Amino acid sequence: MASTSKASETELPEENRTRLCEEFASIAGTDSAVAQCYLAENDWEMERALNSFFEADMEKVFEVGSSPEKPSSPKKKKLKSEGTAPPECVDLTGASPASAHKPPEEEEEDNDKLSLISWNVDGLDTDNLAERARGLCSIIVLYTPDVVFLQELIPPYVQYLKKRAVSYLIIEAGEEGYFTGMMLKKSRVKFLESEVVAYPTTQMMRNLLVAQVEFKGHKLCLMTSHLESCKGHAEERMKQLRVVMRRMTEAADDVTVLFGGDTNLRDPEVAKVGLPTGVCDIWERLGKQEHCRYTWDTKANSNKAARYVSRCRFDRVYVRPATKDCIPRLAPDHMALVGLEKLDCGRYTSDHWGIYCSFSAG
């Protein structure tokens, strides 16, 4: 994380000011002159300066009726699942692009499908951070999901989302370093309560974020996590998966449980732990479609500039439907990857592809 020390310009040696400017410029994707301006205005306190920059730089991203796009702004994208282009101006508080011809209240009443995006946004990568954050929000605008699971969030992302994504309630599993979070569409998802479940032996600040909500008469338990990374931490990762599965199976029988996140899992690890009866992997349930198999793919995603090819299904979504008699079921009916198009900076929104899922009431 960036330095957060506070000192006036006269108290800081020139070499320290230079270092802070370089750090700010690296994180914000700007030059040293802009960095010096924001740092000086904020008493050389890095976190305040970055927050000020993000608020100013991204102010018009979601504004309806904003001025024409600057050359550096993200290109407009098409909804792959619908094949239609979004309206010229889209706000997070408006209707989804696929039904923009309807009033928001009518569209929301008619649509009983639950939509979800799960995405590791790679907030720890500070290169092109501002434009990649805009890329994340562009996808949210395009798909207007009811629920968003995010991993590797950092404070600037959260600060920005809270300011601009006003139609969503944002829940965080932490405040410092990096952490997971959820976004819940206020007009469609009723938030009840949340908790953070600790992984006692994690070495990477990992935990499980759990939220109880209601959606169109359905009781939902939502869960997201970023399980332990790297091949050498398989035992800890499987231990964490067991915690997730236990929480899924222990939920009340009138509750549908949805888990999504960057699991870092390899198939043999899942086979060793085993999925409990009633819990299914969305990708497997929908026919193991090849086009959305690999969420970590250094062959197609160049953000890490890896010299090796690694294609893995690290990001997964699991569901355990409600089992009580006479309770309507939510069943998965669609899955796709998002974030597949490069931004104007020549990089992708994240080094992971995001997962988009929808569920129909049955």
Q: Which domains does the chain have, with CATH numbers?
A: 14-57 (1.10.8), 97-361 (3.60.10.10)
pLDDT given at position 106: 45
pLDDT digits (tens, 9 = 90+) for 76-113: 333 333 333 333 333 444 444 444 444 444 455 458 89
Contacts with 250 (C-beta within 8 Å, 6 or more apart), sequence order: none
- Whether 262 is catalytic is yes
**Distance in angstroms between the alpha carbons of the first and the last residue of the chain:** 46
Measure the CA angle with vertex 80, ends 152 and 72; round to 5°. Answer: 60
Which one is catalytic: 146, 262, 315, 351? 262
| Cβ contacts of 307 within 8 Å, gap of 6 or more | none
**Nearest Cα to 120, choosing from 321, 233, 273, 260?**
260
- Which pLDDT tens digit goes with each residue over 264-281? 999 999 999 999 999 999
CB-count burial class (<10 Å; 0-12, 13-18, 19+) for 121: buried
C-alpha torsion angle, residues 341, 359, 183, 231 (rounded to 10):
-60
- Please check whether residue 339 is in contact with residue 348, taking contact to mean a CB–CB distance below 8 angstroms: yes
Amino acid at 16: N
Q: Write down the pTM of the prediction.
A: 0.74
CA angle at residue 148 from 143 to 153, to 5 degrees? 120
Which residue reads 């950092």 in tokens? 154
316 vs 41: CA distance, rounded Å: 43
What string of DSSP letters covers 201-262? T-SS--EEEEEEEEETTEEEEEEEEEPPPSGGGHHHHHHHHHHHHHHHHHS-TTEEEEEEEE
Give the lowest-confidence range in 92-101, 185-194, 304-313: 92-101
Gap between the Cα atoms of 166 and 169, Å rounded: 8
Percent of the chain with pLDDT over 70: 80
Nearest Cα to Cα of residue 71 among 347, 345, 302, 348: 345
pLDDT in tens, 119-168: 999 999 988 888 888 888 889 989 999 999 999 999 988 888 888 788 99
Nearest to 338 by CA among 320, 324, 350, 322: 350
29 confidence band (pLDDT: 50, 70, 90): low
